[in-house]
Structure 1
Amino acid sequence: MGEDFVKAVKRTSLALLTLTLSAGAVLAGCSSKNDASGSAPSSGASSGKQEKVTLDFWTFWGSTTRRPIIEKIISDFNASQDHIVVKHTYLPWGDIWTKELAQVAAGNPPDVIVNDISTVAQRAQKNQNTNLKSFIGSEDIKSRFFPELWNTTLYKGDAYALPFTTDTRVMFYNKALFKEAGLDPNKPPATWDELAADAKKLDKIGSDGKIERLGFEPNLAAGWDLFLVNSDGLAFVDDKGAHINTPSKIDALNYIKSWEDRLGKKNLDAFQAGFGSKQNDPFISGKLAIKIDVGTFWTQIRDFYPKKEDIGIAPLPEFKPGTGHNSVGGGFVVEIPKGAKHPKESYEFMKYLTDVAAQKYWAQYNFDNVANIQASNDPELQKDPVYKATVDNLKYTKVTPVPLNAPDFRNLLNPEVDAVLLGKESPKDALDKAQAAVENLMKQNTK
């Protein structure tokens, strides 16, 4: 600069102030560029630069299959932005939620956790998770999810979690065994009567009465509770009341008991004693021709059954023609425990976990049904006929939250059903008793 200019600056305080402010603006611009590149701010700096936030994300996904997948999703999220770093903490299934509640009580919970989809409202009622209303704002986040799943996250109209995965029960059947028994391998049973008739043809009973191969048995190859709900599509308990002793459920329990009476409880117990997993699963080993299970059971078939093309998949048979292929499902959500230190950033991570890319990746490599509608219907995923069948089956599937006024209703229902299967009570008497007991429980808890 020239000498005259320097003298002018010295004579004019306003010019000096302007120059100082201009220099400050240049420095601020440099600081912004450094922020964008991810450079760490100096200790005690007052530049206003956003510091990185570290989130602790708890899951029970520690297997050699699931852990690499969730950690890849976390790594992708960390690379997608520069102000949040997520760290994964694995805890075993039996410990994760007990430890979480202890940490909530101590005021030091994780930032995000995977939790049971059916008990979100219970945790909200007990002030154990975080209301997401202020983070969601006017955003239409719920349109991402299947409505049945979104509804499980609500407590008094507000969401306290975001759905992550779900599941559904479908019928797997062995086409080769169907053909051997003289049945059409492309025509699985569509009603309970057809199921019973086909199963008898598929049974192999030795001269000594021992079961060598079983076509099907409702309690052993599905679960009595599934059949009771399948009969009328009503949950045992929901926000409208208890639906335990409906005529259809009484008929269903009679149906289940008739199978046990025909085959013999001792024979069934002896047959079941040889059950295992993987190659020792009775369906995979060819000792069971029809099995009802979650869609992810296909991964065991895929990995351990030698001829996958022999296995068919179909909706659950209807109780009677027209009653519906009613199934049940569960699943998991991601939520922010009460007292988490960075709820805004936690919600941002949860949005990423439940968006299309992460959900598709999880579904593709885990074969899980995911909560995001667009990801579930992704054309690449839909090319797999088994995965498509499980997604299609979601329209028949009930995912019912545990009722707030009867969270322990199973303790009243299960012993009554056990008494029926042991021949100590009639189905009607047992379900009538359970209905009355659960109604009384709901009245007490409502008061």
Structure 2
Amino acid sequence: MKKSKVLVFTISLLLLLAGCGDGKNKGESTSSGDETEKVTLDFWSFWGSGMRREVIEEIIEDFNDSQNEIEVKYSYQPWGDIWTKSLSAITAGNPPDVIVQDINSVAQRAEAKQSVNLTEFIDKDTSDKFYPQLWEAGLYGKDTYGIPFNTDTYVIFYNKKIFREAGIEEKELPTTWEELETTAQKLDIKKGNAYERIGFYPLWNISPDIWAVNADGGTGWFDGDKVAIDTPNKVDLFDWILKWQEHYGKDTINRYEAEFGSGVSDPFVSGLVTMVAQNINYYSNLVSNAPEDFEFGIIPLPEKEKGEGHWTWGGGFVLEVPYGAKNPEASYKFIDYLTSTEVQEKFGEKSFDIMANREANENLINSSELSEDGQMVYQVADEQFKNTVLTPAPLKAPDFANLVNEQIDQILLGTKKPEEGLEDAQKAVEKLVDQNN
């Protein structure tokens, strides 16, 4: 009987001691202030200098200080190298834990098993934070593989001072293709056979792909799964572009392009070109390089004809967890932090990027941290998103663009008429799709 009591007492004491332990759980501090081992995440992006680098490092520091379970390390990877390196790292079984990736190719990486399905970690109302087309671009089937981070939309920047000098009032800003041509010609300065200033040329800083969306009611080279290259509106588009080319002449266009530079040599900043079609994030270039008294405005890409819509194109980036990452749940916690309204607003204030979080953009419209121009940029971006289309590469024809661009080059060189080149492009891409079915 005594032995039994001793045994029970001994077991109870051992259990009590085991329960007390040393006061440490994962992520908690000991009484001496030492922390247990944290989950360490390696975060890759191409933000290597300037305000983007500064603000992302500040945000990472804030995240690390906000909790004691996860430690994020930042790894800058040069633009152009980051995705090649990440693919090699995934293949080697040593990928980063979170990476910034192109928004229009999420489904391709998901299908190739290069990224992690994040659906199990996501709250059901998370998608409500984002512009809907950005959220949809992060899906593969019904599952989420990419969380939108930042984005863009294409617009036209114009020089207000030159517009005033030419007698063009705000109410006369161009809204259609025809009005854009008329306005540009009022802004041209030509002496003899040489242009000293050009009002506008549609292929500077903007590709035919984007104008194709604008021309064809928001439809790019594909309409769902259907190839939509050879359409009447897109034939009209290239007739229109060739008209601009004829107006200025190839020699003038080539001469101007040869003189284009960056910084103060930017043709819009220097006044060499009065209107430019640009990604709206071009504003950050103006902040860095334009004189303090430089006045600019922004208008949507014009409608082909009244009532057809100011359609434009957008891109941007998502946050993904590469396949093989050691702790996807911890990776998603960091992604969720990066896409929160407060953090998105902070990144936007410092970088002038258009953020994927809709509430953050709406807050930036009235942010006291921004100038009136900065607030205006975010307002235009928010308004433009109802007309902004993303064009994820189709899974059955991921490399189709080479076939289209080959024909576009021939159209612009004059070796094929628009209807002929687009018909050939349509057939080539349809054949590619059939081969991959």
Q: What's the TM-score bracket when you normalise by the shorter of the two chains?
A: over 0.9
SS at match of 2:157: strand
Once the two structures are superposed, what CA deviation does each residue of 1:329-349 show, in whole Å capped at 9, x if it has no partner? 100011011111111111111
1:181 aligns with 2:174: no
Question: How far is 1:366 from its partner?
Answer: 0.8
Partner residue of 2:243 out of 258, 264, 271: 258
User: Which residue of structure 1 aligns with residue 194 of structure 2?
Assistant: 210
Task: Mark the CA change 1:257 to 1:348 in structure 2 (over 3 Å): closer, same or farther.
Answer: same
Distance 1:11 1:405, change over 3 A: closer
Deviation, 1:406, is 1.2
Q: Which residue of 2 aligns with 1:115?
A: 101
Report the counterpart of residue 157 of structure 2 in structure 1: 172
Q: 1:143 Cα shift?
A: 1.6
Structure 2 Cα separation of the partners of residues 223 and 339 of structure 1: 36
Query: Contact 1:302/1:308 (CA < 8 Å) preserved in 2?
Result: no
Structure 1 residues 33 and 78: CA distance shift in structure 2, 3 A: closer
- Does residue 1:101 correspond to 2:87, yes or no? yes
Q: 2:208 maps to which residue?
A: 224
Question: Which secondary structure does the structure 2 equivalent of 1:219 belong to?
Answer: coil
Q: Distance in 1 between matches of 2:402 and 2:205?
A: 23
Where do residues 375-394 of structure 1 align in structure 2 (5 Å cutoff)? 375-378=360-363, 380-381=366-367, 384-394=375-385
**Is 1:30 the equivalent of 2:23?**
yes
Quick check: 279-288 or 367-376, which moved more?
A: 367-376
Q: Distance in 2 between matches of 1:32 and 1:338?
A: 29
CA-based RMSD of the aligned residues comes to: 2.2
Structure 1 distance, partners of 2:137, 2:65, is: 31
Q: Which residue of 1 aligns with 2:341?
A: 356
Give the Cα separation in 2 of the matches to 1:426 and 1:361. 49
The answer as to 2:126 corresponding to 1:126 is: no
Letter in 2 for 1:211: Y
In 2, Cα distance between equivalents of 1:112 and 1:239: 30
Q: Please, which moves more after superposition, 29-38 or 59-68? A: 29-38
Residues 389-443 of structure 1, C-alpha deviations (whole Å, 9 max, x = no match): 1221111111121111111111111121111111111111111111111111111
Does structure 2 conserve the Cα–Cα contact (< 8 Å) formed by 1:190 and 1:317? yes
Q: Residues 63-102 of structure 1 correspond to what in structure 2 (within 5 A)?
A: 63-102=49-88
Q: Structure 2, unaligned stretches of length 5 or more? A: none
2: CA distance, partners of 1:11 / 1:200:
103
Query: What SS does the aligned partner of 2:203 have?
Result: helix
**Residues 238 and 402, structure 1, Cα contact 8 Å, conserved in 2:** no
Cα distance in 2, alignment partners of residues 181 and 253 from structure 1: 29
2:34 to 31, 39, 53: 39
Q: Select between 32-41 and 364-373 the one with higher mean Cα deviation.
A: 32-41
Equivalents in 2 of 1:331, 1:33: separation in Å?
A: 37
Unmatched 5+ stretches in structure 1: 1-7, 42-50
Aligned equivalents of 1:225 and 1:163: distance in 2?
22
- Could you give the per-residue CA deviations for residues 303-344 of structure 1, whole angstroms, max 9, x where no partner exists? 322255621111111110011010101000110111111111
SS of structure 2 residue aligned to 1:283: coil
Partner of 2:331: 346
Using the TM superposition, name which of 108-117 and 183-192 deviates more: 183-192
Between the two proteins, what is the percent identity of the paired residues?
43
How has the CA–CA distance of structure 1 residues 11 and 90 changed in structure 2, closer, same or farther, with 3 Å as cutoff?
closer
Which digits, 9 at most, give the CA deviation of each residue in 1:67-112, with x for residues without a partner? 1111111111111110110000011112111111111111111111
Taking the aligned partners of 1:291 and 1:127, their CA distance within structure 2 comes to 40
Asked whether the equivalents of residues 211 and 271 of structure 1 are also in contact (C-alpha less than 8 Å), the reply is no
Contact 2:133 2:389 in 1 (8 A): yes
Provide the C-alpha distance between the structure 2 equivalents of 1:21 and 1:437, rounded to a whole number of angstroms. 74
Using the alignment, how far apart are the partners of 1:83 and 1:319 within structure 2? Answer: 54
CA distance in 1 between counterparts of 2:397 and 2:27 reads 56
* Partner AA of 1:56 in structure 2: D
SS of equivalent to 1:312? strand
Post-superposition offset of 1:244: 1.0
| CA pair 86-270 structure 1, distance change in 2 beyond 3 A | same
Question: Is contact 1:254-1:427 (8 Å) kept?
Answer: yes
Contact 1:211/1:267, CA 8 A, preserved across alignment: yes
Gap change, CA 1:125 and 1:268, over 3 Å in 2: same
2:23 match: secondary structure: helix
Which amino acid in 2 is paired with 1:181?
Answer: A
Cross-structure match for 1:294: 279
Which amino acid letter does the alignment assign opposite residue 351 of structure 1? D
Deviation at 1:17, TM superposition (A): 5.2
Question: Which residue number in structure 2 is paired with residue 423 of structure 1?
Answer: 414
Identify if the C-alpha distance between structure 1 residues 247 and 139 changes in structure 2 by more than 3 Å, giving closer, same or farther: same
| Residue of structure 2 in register with 1:54 after alignment | 40
Per the alignment, in what secondary structure is the counterpart of residue 120 of structure 1?
helix
2:145 to 160, 165, 172: 160
Q: Which amino acid in the other structure matches residue 405 of structure 1? A: K
Moved more, 30-39 or 429-438: 30-39
Partner of 1:435: 426
User: Does structure 1 retain, via aligned residues, the 8 Å contact 2:105–2:393?
Assistant: yes
Segment of structure 1 superposing worse, 327-336 or 152-161? 152-161
User: Residues 425, 17 of structure 1: CA spacing in aligned structure 2 closer, same or farther, 3 A cutoff?
Assistant: closer
Deviation of residue 11 (structure 1)?
7.8
Counterpart residue identity of residue 68, structure 1: E
Find the partner of 2:356 among 371, 375, 380.
Answer: 371
Instruction: Specify whether residues 360 and 350 from structure 1 end up closer, same or farther in structure 2 by C-alpha distance, changes over 3 A only.
Output: same
**Which whole-Å CA distance do the structure 2 matches of 1:145 and 1:338 have between them?**
24
Deviation at 1:183, TM superposition (A): 1.6
Residue 262 (structure 1) shift: 1.6
Distance (Å, rounded) in 2 between the aligned partners of 1:399 and 1:308: 35
Once the two structures are superposed, the pairs formed by residues 310-321 of structure 1 within 5 Å of their partners are 310-321=295-306
Q: Deviations over 1:139-184 (max 9, x none)?
A: 3322221110111111121111111111001111112111222221
> Which residue does 1:45 correspond to in 2?
none
TM-score normalised according to structure 2 size: 0.92
Deviation at 1:19, TM superposition (A): 5.3
1:3 corresponds to which residue? none
Deviation at 1:289, TM superposition (A): 0.7
The SS at the match of 2:156 is strand
